[in-house]
Structure formats: C-alpha cells, structure tokens
Amino acid sequence: MGKERIVILTGAGLSAESGVPTFRDKDGIWAKVDYREVATPEGFARNPARVHEFYNMRRRAHAGIRPNAAHAALARLEREHAGEVWVVTQNVDALHEGAGTQNLIHMHGQLFQALCNACGSRAPWAEDLSLTTVCPACTNAGGMRPDVVWFGEMPYHMERIRDLLEAADLFLSIGTSGNVYPAAGFVAEARASGAHTVELNLEPSEGCSLFAESVYGPATAVVPAYVDRLLKDL
Ligand code: OAD
C-alpha cells in the first residue's frame, strides 16, 4: 500500500465556491457570453479587442479570490499520500498553486500567462493585454494573447497526461460537467488502464455512468471528506 498513483481532473466547479463563475451552469459564463466570440482563434482574428476585454475582465476579477477548502484538501493529499498525486486542471485560475499543489498540469492554459503569436514565447502576465502590448521577448507589438486554450485548439501536455492516465490506479474527476473533450474522455482512458474511477460533483455530469463511484455535493464539503477517507484507507 502507499504506492497508489492518483490522477485528479478538475474543472470550474472546484473554484465555484471561491467566487469564480462556472461555464455551463444557469448563471455560467457561456450563458452570458458567446464562446465563439471570446474563446476561439476565429473570434480573436475577427475582434481581438473584444477577446482582450473578456480576459482582462476575468483576470481583474481574480484579485481577492482565494483557494477554498477543496483546493486545500487536494494539496494536502499530495503532501500526505505516499504515492504520486497529479492534478490535471481545466481551470485557468491559479488556485491550485495558491493552495500549494505542486504536481499540476494546466491543460487549458493559464489566465496569468501571455503567449506571443509572433515568436511563440510565454511570459507571466498579471496586467491587462491590448492590441499594443509589446512582447517582452521579441518586442513585437500586437501579437500577445492570453495563454488560454480556445475551442478548436489542442489542449497542452496531452502526451504527459495520457502517460499519467495509463499508469493511474485511481482517477478522480472533480467539478467538471464532462462536456469538453479530450478531458471528458479521460475517465474512459483511466478505466481502460484499470484505474478505479470516482466523480465528485454538484450533480451527475454528462459521463456520470462511466464512473465506478460517485459523490454528489458542493466541492468544499465533499472533497475534504473524500480526501480524509482516502488518506485513512490508503
Ligand atoms: P462547466 O461549467 O461545464 O461545469 C462545471 C461543473 O461543476 C458542473 O457539472 C456543475 O454542476 C459543477 N459545480 C458547480 N458548482 C459546484 C460546486 N460548488 N462544487 C462542485 N461542483 C460544482 O465547467 P468545466 O467542466 O470546467 O474551456 O468546463 C470545461 C471547459 O469548458 C473549461 O475549461 C472551459 C469551458 O469552455 C475553455 O474555455 C477552452
């Protein structure tokens, strides 16, 4: 015992109780904003100022937002579990790292990072981006974009994630609706590799029937309780 390799997929539901809006809930971001305008390469090509405005607003909204008890429980799991724990997050916020998680993969990119379309370099970014922002690496103006994966783009680190899923003994999916691939397909990949699969979410997700075990409730309640139990059982 103690060698179990745990892979945890997280989504917007994990950060909801920190005050970060989800995407597909009743008051979610995609109920108010057309994703084709702000989260596709075509939308950025058509109206880059609109896209910058959307992400600048989201970046600013993060001031004062703190990790919640669910982020803290996952960081504790990594610290206290004798085996390997990896968090693969679809969230672009910085709340996992804020809580102390170290083995972290941002598969949909990061709000606080910018990517230069001209030279491909990345830079930490806490300020607004605009059409005149200058790339600190190549000094070109106008090519900077948020380093966030948009619809139609390939999520980051997929090879590494597939290796982790293949080796996983336990796969947890937390706070995600299971609508967006490839992340929605991870449960099937983990199952095929022989992992035990568990969903923790406010309500059954799209792919809920694919999980061997399910726990429903708000993340700040169910995640700390699940981690407590896991650390006792392992
Ligand atoms: P969604 O908004 O699609 O789903 C959030 C899930 O969290 C839903 O199933 C909710 O029921 C659940 N939820 C809400 N509040 C919760 C709480 N307090 N505790 C636990 N669960 C809660 O968000 P994601 O699945 O993360 O991608 O969306 C996936 C991707 O779609 C995002 O990364 C983003 C989006 O478009 C891009 O922008 C490329």
User: 127: which residues sit within 8 A by CB, 6+ positions away?
Assistant: none
Q: Is the dihedral of CA 189, 195, 201, 206 positive or negative?
A: positive
- Tell me if the pTM is above 0.75: yes
Per-residue pLDDT tens digits for 211-223? 999 999 999 999 9
Pairing of strands 170-174, 144-148: unpaired
Residue where the block lists tokens 């804020």: 98
Q: Does the pLDDT of residue 69 top 70, yes or no?
A: yes
Per-residue pLDDT tens digits for 171-185? 999 999 999 999 999
Averaged pLDDT, 149-168:
98
Which numbered atom of ligand 1 lies nearest the CA of 151? Answer: 39
| Rounded-to-integer distance, Cα 115 and Cα 104, Å | 19
Is the beta carbon of 180 within 6 A of some atom in ligand 1? Answer: yes
Per-residue pLDDT tens digits for 11-61? 999 999 999 999 999 999 999 999 999 999 999 999 999 999 999 999 999
Ligand 1 centroid to residue 175 C-alpha, Å: 6
Is the beta carbon of 176 within 6 A of some atom in ligand 1? Answer: yes
Note whether 79 and 54 are within 8 A (CB): no
Residue 201: predicted pLDDT:
98
Residue 108 is a catalytic residue: yes
Residue 195: predicted pLDDT:
97
Ligand 1 centroid to residue 230 C-alpha, Å: 24
List domains and CATH numbers for the chain: 1-19+66-108+155-234 (3.40.50.1220), 21-64+113-148 (3.30.1600.10)
Residue 1: predicted pLDDT:
43
Is the beta carbon of 17 within 6 A of some atom in ligand 1? Answer: yes
Per-residue pLDDT tens digits for 71-83? 999 999 999 999 9
